Amino acid sequence: MTLVGKKAPLFTAPAVINGEEIVDKFSLEQYIGKKYVVFYFYPKDFTFVCPTEILAFQTRLADFEKRDCVVIGCSTDTENSHLAWLSTPKNKGGIQSVTYPIVADTSKTIAINYGILGGEFEYNEEGMTVFNGAPIAYRATFLIDKKGIVRHEYVNDFPLGRSVDETLRLVDALIHNEEHGEVCPANWSEGKDAMSATREGVANYLATH
């Protein structure tokens, strides 16, 4: 079930902030009413595709910030694992230099509430709890507006890296819609023509593009 159009599930969990400090109670709620939020999940620390994505978000972090948007990463690893990875140089497979928050969802409840855990808990014939699938998060990305509503989500399987540029484009599209009341057509990007959500608006756009 999609979360688009619904309130983003709030959480309070341990996280590493500024690339070096563990906080016990990092909360999504602190940004509601104040910032746009790109909240994304990745599968595991100390892996292969994950550091390329995490560092790609860091490279574009200033672009998100100038749009009044914060970036938050999350996986089911512990905060200590996050800190160790954040302290490891990039030339040794680490993500040193990342400054935005990385949340530790060790209980897996955040991933479950966002619907992106790679499997599910069940009971076997003996009544024992078992897990079917991979007990880690898919590569999921959520764009949350300043009212705390999820406006966009997409989920990739484990081997498929996401596009940070596309995420930034969607932040631009959301801001354009809120500021101008126009809708953003296929392949729209900042600076291109949008259109009014009317038959006439669509007809005018199609006639000129």
71 C-beta neighbours (distance < 10 Å), count: 22
Residues 167 and 157 in one domain: no
119-152: b or e for each residue (b if 16 or more CB lie within 10 Å)? eeeeeeeeeeeeeeeeebbbbbbbbbbbebebbb
Domain count, the chain: 2
- pLDDT tens, position by position, 140-162: 999 999 999 999 999 999 999 99
Residues 209 and 138 in one domain: no
Q: Is 61 helix (H, G, I), strand (E, B) or coil?
A: helix
| Residue 19 domain flag | yes
Q: Which two three-digit tokens encode residue 53?
A: 């994505």
Q: In percent, how much of the chain has pLDDT > 90?
A: 99
133: region left, alpha or beta (phi > 0 left; psi from -120 to 50 alpha):
left
Q: Which pTM was predicted?
A: 0.96
Q: What pLDDT was estimated at residue 44?
A: 98
The residue range of the domain holding 66 is 12-162
Residue 1 has pLDDT above 90, yes or no: no
Residue of 50, 69, 74, 184 marked catalytic: 50
Residues 80 and 47 in one domain: yes
Respond yes or no: is residue 50 known to be catalytic.
yes
Residues 158 and 168 in one domain: no
Residue 89 has pLDDT above 90, yes or no: yes
Q: What angle do CA 156, 160, 164 make, to 5 degrees?
A: 80
Residues 147 and 193 in one domain: no
Residue 148 φ then ψ, to 5° = 85, 15
**Pairwise CA distance, residues 180 & 41, whole Å:** 31
Which among 162, 182, 201 is the end of a domain?
A: 162
Residues 176 and 87 in one domain: no
Name, in order, each residue with C-beta under 8 angstroms of 180's C-beta and a sequence gap of 6 or more.
Answer: 194
Residues 127 and 49 in one domain: yes
Strand-pair partners of 30: none
78: confidence class by pLDDT, cuts 50, 70, 90: very high
Burial class (CB in 10 A: 0-12, 13-18, 19+), 106: middle
Q: What pLDDT was estimated at residue 146?
A: 98
Residues 135 and 117 in one domain: yes
Residues 158 and 169 in one domain: no
Residues 144 and 127 in one domain: yes
- pLDDT tens, position by position, 3-59: 999 999 999 999 999 999 999 999 999 999 999 999 999 999 999 999 999 999 999
| Residue 6 domain flag | no
**Pairwise CA distance, residues 131 & 153, whole Å:** 25
